[in-house]
């Protein structure tokens, strides 16, 4: 008799692993927005803390739908013959705890990619800075190399 761990990453049940393409795209867009705004840690902390209340949260979204719809406009999606706007799609997705876990995993995945890109950019910047410093000292000490000045012949 196995029990689900209360904390940490959850394994997704195999029967519920497939999401519709619209749902997958919605999760990716939300996760990308969170990562772009550099709110990864607060978002993960918030989602992990309210994960047990996900169904109540989706019902609160039902209550606020008229107000949100009056202020914002959402794109309408045709999903399996049903017309849904993005707000409804997100609300339906958040009713299931598995989708909250999927969103968390997607945020972590995109954050890792973003972190790796930033690391590569910083590494490149440091190498350029180091090369610039070397050129400065070579020039100052009169030991310029042809690649430093851009000329091939030196006499």
pLDDT digits (tens, 9 = 90+) for 30-74: 999 999 999 999 999 999 998 888 889 888 988 988 888 788 877
Q: What angle do CA 39, 41, 46 make, to 5 degrees?
A: 95
Contacts of 32 (CB under 8 A, 6+ apart): 110
Report pLDDT for 147. Answer: 63
Q: Give the whole-angstrom CA distance, residue 44 versus residue 137.
A: 47
- Note the pLDDT of residue 104: 94
User: What pLDDT score was predicted for residue 101?
Assistant: 92
Q: Which residues of the chain have pLDDT under 50?
A: 1, 15, 154-155
Give me the pLDDT at residue 18, please.
79
Tell me which residue of 113, 65, 109, 114 sits closest to 90, measured CA to CA: 65
Per-residue confidence (pLDDT) for residue 41, from 0 to 100: 95
**Please, how many CA atoms are within 13 Å of residue 19, restricted to the half-sphere of its CB?**
21
DSSP element (H, E) containing 75: none
């Amino acid at each position: 008799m196995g029990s689900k761990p209360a904390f940490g990453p959850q394994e997704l049940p195999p029967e519920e692993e497939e999401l519709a393409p619209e749902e997958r795209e919605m999760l990716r867009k939300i996760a990308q927005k969170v990562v772009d705004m550099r709110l990864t840690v607060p978002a993960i902390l918030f989602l992990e803390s309210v994960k047990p209340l996900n169904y109540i949260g989706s019902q609160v979204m039902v209550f606020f739908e008229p107000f949100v719809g009056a202020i914002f406009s959402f794109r309408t999606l045709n999903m399996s013959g049903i017309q849904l706007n993005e707000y409804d799609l997100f609300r339906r997705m958040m009713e299931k705890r598995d989708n909250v876990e999927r969103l968390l995993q997607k945020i972590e995945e995109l954050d890792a990619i973003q972190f790796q890109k930033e690391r590569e950019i910083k590494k490149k910047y440091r190498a350029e800075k180091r090369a610039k410093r070397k050129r400065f000292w070579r020039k100052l000490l009169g030991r310029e190399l042809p690649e430093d000045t851009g000329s091939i012949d030196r006499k």
